Amino acid sequence: MQEYRKALQFGRGIGLRVILGMELRFFGNADDYLVYGIDESFLKAMPYLFMKDLKIFHRITQQHDFLIYQVHPFRSGITPANPKDLDGVEVYNDNL
């Protein structure tokens, strides 16, 4: 949170909107997700998000108006998620 706060302060100084986000991987698989719209109080209240699964977490994101995107869904070893459980997907990642 310290680095987010630094970025937030810097962004305010130059007129750039900075939002809090995180990359999340659920326990037991290699699929990664980006989550936007979260806040510090949510993170403190939900310290074990990685123990949930995508379907449950997507319901949580909908209740809080967060966004969840699957990153690099077509990389080797990754399983593309059900689109019903996502707000979007990363379509290009040149770090193969």
Tell me the whole-structure pTM to 2 decimals.
Answer: 0.84
69 DSSP assignment: E
Strands 32-36, 67-71: pairing kind: antiparallel
Every domain of the chain and the residues it spans: 19-89
Token pair of 58 as six digits = 């997507």
Reported as a single tens digit per residue, the pLDDT across 53-89 is 999 999 999 999 999 999 988 888 889 999 999 999 9
pLDDT the model gives residue 92: 80
